[in-house]
Structure 1
Amino acid sequence: MNAHTDLIDRYFDAWNETDGARRRELIAATWAADADYRDPLLAGAGHDGIDAMIRAVHERFPHHTFRRTTEVDGFANRLRFSWELTTPAGEAIVKGSDFGVVDAHGRLQAVTGFLDQVPAAA
């Protein structure tokens, strides 16, 4: 286990938290106040933007769960890991890889996500 694993596990806890107050606590403990998240479909800036982005994913994919599928690889203040979004039945419907930058306080400053597998258009 490396120094970034706990941070990324908390990152997934925030993504999976459906209680708004608890999710905002997790975001504050995980992300820098001026943090930025970007992937081909989503973007969120600051704690409020990240919370709104996660809330929108919960609305679009109710009862789905994100989980880390690789170890967290990192050096200095850089890290990477892969993940999947699973249905309530456990089927992975989206897979991706994220790259992050950690600030001096051990919080995520920036995350850039890449989608490795997405559902075919209906």
Structure 2
Amino acid sequence: MNAHTDLIDRYFDAWNETDGTRRRELIAATWSTDADYRDPLLSGTGHDGIDAMIRAVQERFPHHTFRRTGQIDGFADRLRFSWELAAPAGDAIAKGSDFGVIDPHGRLQAITGFLDQVPDGV
């Protein structure tokens, strides 16, 4: 695995972590303190904002998990990857592609997400 793969796998670990203390530890290890996340439905700034955003998604979609699909493409301080949100039975209910910027310390500075598929009613 390379540094980008480790970083993004930890990113998904944070999205899937339901224990609040452990999730905040993962966020701190993965994101810069002034990080920013944006997609058409959500936004979060800083560790507290990102934690609140993840918690809200977990409350809306209990027992669902995010997983990376495919490899991570990156160069310099930029990367992109695709993902899906899987229901407890394993079926993907949402899919997307994210683009990221990495800070000089190897943590996420920014993620911009694009949704390729969303559940009905979202």
TM range (shorter): over 0.9
Deviation, 1:52, is 0.1
Please report the TM-score for the alignment, with normalisation by the length of structure 1: 0.97
**Deviation above 6 Å: which 4+ runs of structure 1?**
none
In the alignment, which residue of structure 2 is the partner of 1:3?
3
Q: What is residue 103 of structure 1 aligned with on the other side? A: 103
Q: Superposed, which structure 2 residues align to 1:1-122 within 5 Å?
A: 1-121=1-121
| Count of residue pairs brought into register by the alignment | 122
In 2, the alpha carbon distance for the partners of 1:2 and 1:74 equals 11
Q: Secondary structure at the match of 1:18?
A: coil
Structure 1 residue 119 displacement after superposition: 2.1
- Looking at structure 2, the residues matched to 121 and 32 of structure 1 have their Cα atoms a distance apart, in angstroms, of 33
AA aligned to 2:44 is G
Percent identity over the alignment is 84
Once residues 90 and 3 of structure 2 are traced to their aligned partners in structure 1, the CA distance between those partners, rounded to angstroms, is 29
- Secondary structure in 2 matching 1:71: strand
Quote the Cα distance in structure 2 between the aligned partners of 1:46 and 1:2: 25
CA contact (8 A) 1:98 1:111 kept: yes
RMSD of aligned C-alpha atoms? Answer: 1.1
Q: Deviations over 1:68-112 (max 9, x none)?
A: 001010000000000000000001000000000000000000000
> For the Cα contact (< 8 Å) 1:66–1:86, is it kept in 2?
yes
Gaps of 5+ in 2: none
TM-score computed with the length of structure 2 as normaliser: 0.97
Unaligned runs of 5+ in 1: none
Once residues 66 and 18 of structure 1 are traced to their aligned partners in structure 2, the CA distance between those partners, rounded to angstroms, is 12
